């Protein structure tokens, strides 16, 4: 079941859609990135998958059907008067952010922290017990989807072999993604949060002025942080 929280919507040039991970929390907040985004100048929409199915729903799943979720995102963007649409997610939420960016050409940028990129058996045993419960995942392999028109930033720990495996799998068919390494094993976002670096990174990524490509907008942050 997909749950969407809309109380942080407001008139703004940029709408950030935050997709929650498996635990539905980062820093103990039920909606992942809620505390961070509350300190960032943007409108926000929070999405979480209570069924822990990596956002794999279909026409028979009512409001959880990706078509209905996309409709809600479009309505939120119109409500805010936003020109920029940014997707954000960690782990399972990173998968969701990437998946919806591939399904929505309106997305301008995606920030995915330690994302899975394929949820089919044989790729990663850490969440296999969950993946085995997902009936016929429609979008189980992100590499099989068209690369989004959006700028894509993948942030992960390159020294963790499973994290590296997911990123390399996606880059086979999404070659123009921006990739940055940050220590933390699977908890890169939590590490950045603890160090106080997460909010500045997100703020720079979503800034609409100056209007530069994502990589150029972040270059100074990465070089001088």
**DSSP string for residues in 154-195:** EEE-TTSHHHHHHHHHHHTT-TT-EEEE-SSTT-HHHHHHHT
Walk across the sheet containing 151-156 and list its strands.
2-5, 43-49, 14-19, 84-90, 109-113, 151-156, 178-181
Torsion angle defined by CA atoms of residues 171, 174, 179 and 183, in that order, rounded to the nearest 10 degrees:
-50
Fold of 2-224: Rossmann fold (3.40.50)
Q: What is the pLDDT of residues 17-32, one digit of tens each?
A: 999 998 754 444 557 8
Instruction: Provide the pLDDT for residue 23.
Output: 74
- Percent of the residues in the chain that have a pLDDT greater than 70, as a whole number: 89
Instruction: Provide the pLDDT for residue 156.
Output: 95
Instruction: Provide the pLDDT for residue 121.
Output: 84
> Hey, where are the domains in the chain?
2-224
- Tell me the residue ranges of DSSP E strands in the chain: 2-5, 14-19, 43-49, 84-90, 109-113, 151-156, 178-181
Q: What is the mean pLDDT of each run of 10 residues along the chain (225 residues)?
A: 95 96 61 88 95 94 96 98 95 97 95 96 91 92 95 93 96 91 91 90 74 56 45
Instruction: Provide the pLDDT for residue 222.
Output: 53
Instruction: Provide the pLDDT for residue 206.
Output: 79
CA 181 vs CA 4, 67, 143: distances in Å: 30, 33, 20
């Amino acid at each position: 079941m997909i749950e969407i929280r809309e109380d942080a919507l407001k008139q703004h040039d940029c709408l950030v859609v935050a997709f929650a991970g498996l635990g539905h929390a980062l820093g103990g907040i039920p909606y992942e990135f809620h505390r961070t985004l509350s300190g960032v100048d943007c409108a926000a929409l929070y999405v979480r998958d209570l069924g822990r199915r990596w956002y794999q729903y279909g026409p028979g799943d009512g409001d959880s059907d990706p078509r209905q979720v996309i409709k809600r995102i479009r309505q939120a963007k119109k409500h805010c008067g936003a020109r920029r649409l940014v997707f954000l997610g960690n782990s399972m939420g990173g998968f969701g952010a990437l998946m919806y960016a591939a399904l929505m050409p309106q997305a301008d940028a995606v920030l995915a922290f330690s994302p899975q990129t394929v949820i089919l058996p044989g790729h990663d045993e850490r969440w296999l017990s969950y993946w085995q419960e997902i009936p016929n995942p429609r979008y189980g392999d992100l590499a099989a989807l068209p690369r989004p028109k959006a700028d894509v930033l993948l942030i992960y720990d390159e020294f963790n072999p499973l994290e590296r495996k997911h990123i390399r799998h996606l880059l086979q068919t999404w070659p123009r993604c921006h990739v940055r390494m940050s220590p933390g094993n699977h908890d890169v976002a939590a590490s950045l949060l603890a160090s106080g670096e997460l909010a500045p990174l997100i703020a720079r990524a979503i800034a609409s002025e100056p209007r530069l490509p994502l990589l150029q907008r972040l270059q100074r942050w990465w070089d001088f942080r």
